[in-house]
Amino acid sequence: MKDERVLGALALVSGALILWKPELLSILAGAFLVLVGLLKLLER
């Protein structure tokens, strides 16, 4: 699935940014959850 690859890439980028700047954790987590939620809604 192409979407799964995109999610995997976003997870890797987010993880790298969190390790680099931990204060971004809450912002990235929120954005990631919103994005995953939107993708799941659009799948249906």
- Domain-embedded: residue 1: no
- Can you give the pLDDT at residue 35? 84
Model confidence pLDDT, tens digit, residues 1-44 = 678 888 788 788 877 877 777 777 777 788 888 888 888 888 87
Q: How many domains does the chain have?
A: 1
Amino acid at 2: K
- Can you give the pLDDT at residue 1? 62
Concatenated DSSP letters for 1-44?
Answer: -HHHHHHHHHHHHHHHHHHH-GGGHHHHHHHHHHHHHHHHHHH-
- Can you give the pLDDT at residue 36? 85
Provide φ and ψ at 18, rounded to 5°.
Answer: -65, -40
- Domain-embedded: residue 21: yes
d(CA 16, CA 2): 21
**Domain of 26?**
6-43
Verdict on whether the full-model pTM lies above 0.75: no
Provide φ and ψ at 21, rounded to 5°.
Answer: -135, 90
